[in-house]
Structure 1
Amino acid sequence: MSALEMATTPPLPILPLPSFSQLKWQQRELIMFFHFGVNTFTDSEWGSGGENPAIFDPVGLDANQWVDTAVEAGVSLVILTAKHHDGFCLWPSKYTDHSVVRSPWQNGQGDVIRELVNAATPRGVDVGLYLSPWDRHDRRYGHDLPYNEFYLAQLQELLKKYGSVKEIWFDGAKGSNATNMTYYFTDWFSMVKELQSSINIFSDAGPDVRWVGNENGFAGSTCWSTINGSSLAIGNASIMDYLNTGDSKGRDWLPPECDVSIRRGWFWHKSQSPKTLKQLLEIYYNSVGRNCVLLLNVPPNTTGLISQEDVQRLKEFRKAIDTIFSTNLAENCLIKASSIRGGKEGGFGPQNVLDNDHLWTYWAPVDGDDGDHWIELRVRDEGLRFNVVRIQEAIGLGQRIKRHEIYVDGKRVVSGTTVGYKRLHRLEEGIVRGQILRIRIKESRGVPLISSIGLHFDPFWHPDKRYTKRQGI
């Protein structure tokens, strides 16, 4: 290659940036929680710690069914409550007998975590674990040094015994009357990373994944992966709004995870039913569609199986997602942009937003161009019919877009803020028919880098008819 033919260099990243493990986590989009334990058998959410382990007897437990359910839902990571607040351990811990060893299940020889790992590994599904800091059973709780040593010992068991663990979940919840206790989070996190360097640590404050600030599965309409970790504290209820939106000036890359249950409760209850498909899609658009990963809890029942009504609802959910997003109506559009870094042959043209790489190929405008950044899709023949617009940023080089607008045939149909890994806009006007779609970036941190654009049709989306009537649609 001669000097005259040298390739155009990529733009400089805008800090902070995601790690490799954070990027892989973000691409999962949908992951699954299994809340399971003595609460399953006592019809409760928070156990007292005084439960008799003899009540734990899931005679039909089949982790293969759990994992098959996850795979059919399009899930590649499942997280199990190894120990919830009641202190009962789903594995035979060396450091307490308040566990499966004192239950009748498999004559005290069982290990739920091992069952899950053995089911997940051959199916290519990764495993994560939840270990509650609040322990209502263990007498060491409330005594800082002994309890922290106990907790660290259990962490080491989990991270040494069961192979690769992709996410470890630290829950900040505890009762208002709980014994005062100082958790040595810094020591815990250091131990986790020492044992498994590629793991993602979840807590209210990260350090790899943060809580979204609610258990409804909804992120803020503005949602930054960046935040100031120094402003966060595990269990601090006053920062929920900050967790929900993040911070455009944040110094740390701490993407949010939206946790919500398919039922009203986190544990299985006979009296409860799964959410409707409409509710699940609403959650999806407001979590995955707002730059988050959705952690959907699906609790096994007292038999040790995922209830069939939950299995069926998950199949409907997956089918609906595939129906909406498997086809990109924009794929044959003509495309142009306000400017192109390096010109038409520079490798950063607008055509990149229609390929299958949603991270490392992207449209990049010219550096220093403070003008109106836009990218335009034009139908070759008759107009398109769609009601969802998907936009994705090249977040490997930082989250950038602060404000954007979408126009169809010159009419503004969306006025939005952040984009991040994925932004899904369901059009409030309902189905739109048009020939020209233009996305304008009104404000960004540096030049915007858009990796993917999609136009989709959602047959399940029925906006408020009063709105569409007012608009004359």
Structure 2
Amino acid sequence: MKKTNLVLAGLLTCSMAMAQKIQPYGALPSKAQVAWNDMEYYMFIHFGPNTFTNKEWGHGDEDPKVFNPTRLDARQWARTAKLAGMKGIVITAKHHDGFCLWPSKYSTHTVRESAWKNGKGDVLAELSAACKEYGLKFGVYLSPWDRNHPEYGTANYNQVFANTLNEVLSSYGPVFEQWFDGANGGNVKQPYDWDLFHKVVYKNQPNAVIFSDVGPGCRWVGNENGIAGTTNWSTLNVKGFSPGLGGPPTKSLNEGNEEGEKWVPAECDVSIRPGWFYSPETDDKVKSVNTLLDIYYGSVGRNGNLILNVPIDREGLIHPNDSTRLMELRKVLDASFKNNLAKKAVVTATDTRKNTAEVKVAHLTDGNNSTYWATANNVTKTTIKLSFPKPVTFNRLVLQEYIALGQRVEAFSVDILENGKRKEIARETTIGHKRILRLPDYTTTEVYINITDAKACPVISEVQLYEAPGMLATPEIHRSKDGQVTITAASADPEIHYTTDGTTPALNAPLYVPKTQISLPGGGVVKARAFLRKTNAASPEVTADFDVAPAKWQVTAPAGNADAAKAIDGNTTTVWVSEKIAQYPHQLEVDLGETLTLKGFTYTPTTNDHIGGVIYGYAFYTSADGKNWGQPAATGSFANIKNNPVPQKVSFAPVAARFVRLVALTPATEKESRASIAELSVITR
């Protein structure tokens, strides 16, 4: 009888354990994907011939000897990334121009043919060793598009690329991420054998996470602004899609697909400068700390990973302006997430799974995202409560799901206790690996996190509260059509000081008085900083470099289109859109009102996807009389403008002219019938 009771007890215990075990939900991440998500923030490096030619997309016809960094120091790159708080580096081992940063035996367009180290150098070897030294993970970008290789566009090319890929992935140690894009442009199209490419990756690097529009390891977020959707599922429907033009809709890339077929989390790519490759003209265009913070909270804070591009300069170093900004960002992030107030709280929950040793309320505030709390199987709505013995002030809330068991939470809200009553302060959707809410300052003794909807029992690993320091907003500099400059700052009581002589503004520089104007019709450089005297806080410096103002300009064609004036009004938020006709080309002609010596032009595209019409192929003409135009002063294409719609500067040999004509030859988006211009300007300085 005693033996029977023991058997029954054992069976009952086993049954209870089985009944309480948390079952995975939906598509699940691999161990490599979980580790990848934990990295959160790492560096992208664009480096190659484009660094020396001021191009975003090289044509593959560059003399390889142009690549000659005189002080290349991969240890400086790795040291900078480490000090910035980044966990790894992904480098453009081969971009679209086909230039290889290692001496590939499958190409004649490599560092071996360059002037750098007399052709004896290997950038990948140096960076791989530097990453190992500084405890960083190493990743590579290899573009399948090759504008140099003679086999591109033939039946043999896929094997050539596979061999090239195999060469890299078998030679430089562990690779945490293999970056692919689907670029397939120019006059020659190449059907890519993605199955073959993936087999090569996994043969050499079984734990590598493969990036593309459809993964399979992680996905492009659908923009190059570094911003994920406020709703962001790590799951994606991939059947019928392929990298590049065959990718999923932008909305799916940005938000994922609820109940998606595969676990393909979002990676948010963005450059610290306007372009991806280094250009001296962008030394003063490094993104502000405030902008980088917006990007951080829009990526890492929305269930994505942030890959921040920091281009290498022509000496072979990370430029001081970039590294300084990275350290400023690190300082703010460290201060923002230094003290987890939730650790001081008494944590309770309305529903906690019983008879499961792994599930504890205490795990919610232990600072370890590999432990978790969960509800019972049939409970998908619940509340976690943080109670404090004394009032606390917070403005950041961090939530994390235990993603190894799937992404579950569909919606949640946050309440605080205020004047004896609960007050809702936030209502959001998904959580995933990490969700960070930026909130106003709230002071309270009770915080409630309400899971209002979930696909299965919520499994939460972390709840954290922080009081981040306030930030001084970076000034914004604007100029009107007639050349009058104004400066604004969205910050409480800032004192703005500016200069027009190229020097850095300090408190002894001219004070900008709101609503006054600085007259610069002929162009010039304005620099500004915001200050708070009571704390000695100062914003990063912001610079605006203006050319001649369009005060005298008139649109001469298309005739009768009043909206065309929006292309030359000095305001990039207004956009001229051509009339809807069957096909390109479109053109805009402008009378400058005076004869100027032109050295180039600038095309600013719209960033509004709903407007569209971004121009890719162009021809730019000049004329002395508006009748005789001759050959174009410049022709070409705005590389990568669809994904990175930043102002495009094009230089040409100086020419005296009064009239200009921009012809839009091809659109950046297939099947687009219209062209648009947010701003057209000329370069005279």
| TM-score, normalised with respect to structure 1 | 0.93
Structure 1 residue 76: deviation in Å? 2.0
Equivalent in 325, 333, 351 of residue 321 of structure 1: 333
Q: Distance in 1 between the 2:80 and 2:333 partners?
A: 16
Structure 1 residue 48: deviation in Å? 1.2
Q: Does 1:426 align with 2:442?
A: no
Q: Match of 1:393? A: 401
Structure 1 residue 326: deviation in Å? 2.1
Q: Amino acid of the residue matched to residue 173 of structure 2?
A: G
Secondary structure of 1:106's match? Answer: helix
Secondary structure of 1:21's match? Answer: helix
Q: Match of 1:22? A: 33
Q: Amino acid of the residue matched to residue 89 of structure 2?
A: V
Q: Match of 1:330? A: 342
Structure 1 residue 178: deviation in Å? 4.0
Q: Distance in 2 between the 1:269 and 1:465 partners?
A: 31
Q: Match of 1:279? A: 291
Contact 1:290–1:423, Cα closer than 8 Å, also in 2: yes
Q: Match of 2:613? A: none
Matches within 5 A, 1:311-390: 311-342=323-354, 346-359=357-370, 361-369=371-379, 372-380=381-389, 382-390=390-398
Q: Match of 1:405? A: 413
Moved over 4 A (4+): 1-9, 461-466
Q: Match of 1:471? A: none
Secondary structure of 2:426's match? Answer: strand
Q: Deviations over 1:428-455 (max 9, x none)?
A: xx11111111011111111111110111
Structure 1 residue 304: deviation in Å? 0.2
Q: Amino acid of the residue matched to residue 170 of structure 1?
A: F
Secondary structure of 2:354's match? Answer: coil
Equivalent in 259, 273, 277 of residue 249 of structure 1: 259
Identity among equivalent positions (%) equals 42
Q: Match of 1:469? A: none
Q: Flag the structure with larger Rg.
A: 2
Q: Match of 1:218? A: 227
Q: Distance in 1 between the 2:141 and 2:89 partners?
A: 11
Distance 1:231 1:386, change over 3 A: farther
Any unmatched runs of 5+ in structure 1?
467-473
Secondary structure of 1:330's match? Answer: helix
Q: Distance in 2 between the 1:148 and 1:178 partners?
A: 18
RCO comparison, higher one (Cα < 8 Å, 6+): 1
Equivalent in 292, 297, 306 of residue 294 of structure 1: 306
Contact 1:278–1:460, Cα closer than 8 Å, also in 2: no
Q: Distance in 1 between the 2:471 and 2:449 partners?
A: 22
Q: Distance in 2 between the 1:308 and 1:141 partners?
A: 38
Structure 1 residue 196: deviation in Å? 1.6
Contact 1:128–1:166, Cα closer than 8 Å, also in 2: yes
Q: Distance in 2 between the 1:355 and 1:82 partners?
A: 40
Contact 1:332–1:379, Cα closer than 8 Å, also in 2: yes
Q: Which has the higher strand share?
A: 2
Q: Match of 1:101? A: 112
Q: Distance in 1 between the 2:36 and 2:299 partners?
A: 14
Q: Which moved more, 1:232-241 or 1:86-95?
A: 232-241
Q: Distance in 2 between the 1:68 and 1:36 partners?
A: 17
| TM-score, normalised with respect to structure 2 | 0.65
Secondary structure of 1:304's match? Answer: coil
Structure 1 residue 89: deviation in Å? 0.8
Contact 1:14–1:398, Cα closer than 8 Å, also in 2: yes
Contact 1:232–1:239, Cα closer than 8 Å, also in 2: no
Secondary structure of 2:413's match? Answer: strand
Q: Does 1:34 align with 2:45?
A: yes
Secondary structure of 2:373's match? Answer: coil
Q: Does 1:189 align with 2:198?
A: yes
Structure 1 residue 192: deviation in Å? 1.1
Q: Amino acid of the residue matched to residue 318 of structure 1?
A: R
Q: Match of 2:553? A: none
Contact 2:214–2:248, Cα closer than 8 Å, also in 1: no
Contact 2:26–2:259, Cα closer than 8 Å, also in 1: no
Secondary structure of 2:343's match? Answer: coil
Contact 2:184–2:190, Cα closer than 8 Å, also in 1: no
Q: Does 1:89 align with 2:104?
A: no
Q: Deviations over 1:14-42 (max 9, x none)?
A: 12111011011000010111100000000
Secondary structure of 1:353's match? Answer: helix
Secondary structure of 1:241's match? Answer: helix
Q: Which has the higher helix share?
A: 1
Q: Give the root-mean-square deviation of aligned CA atoms.
A: 1.9
Q: Which moved more, 1:347-356 or 1:105-114?
A: 347-356
Structure 1 residue 369: deviation in Å? 2.7
Q: Distance in 2 between the 1:418 and 1:239 partners?
A: 20
Secondary structure of 1:150's match? Answer: helix
Q: Distance in 1 between the 2:336 and 2:425 partners?
A: 19
Structure 1 residue 87: deviation in Å? 0.8
Equivalent in 42, 62, 66 of residue 55 of structure 1: 66
Q: Amino acid of the residue matched to residue 362 of structure 1?
A: Y
Q: Distance in 2 between the 1:387 and 1:63 partners?
A: 38
Secondary structure of 1:323's match? Answer: helix
Q: Amino acid of the residue matched to residue 455 of structure 1?
A: L
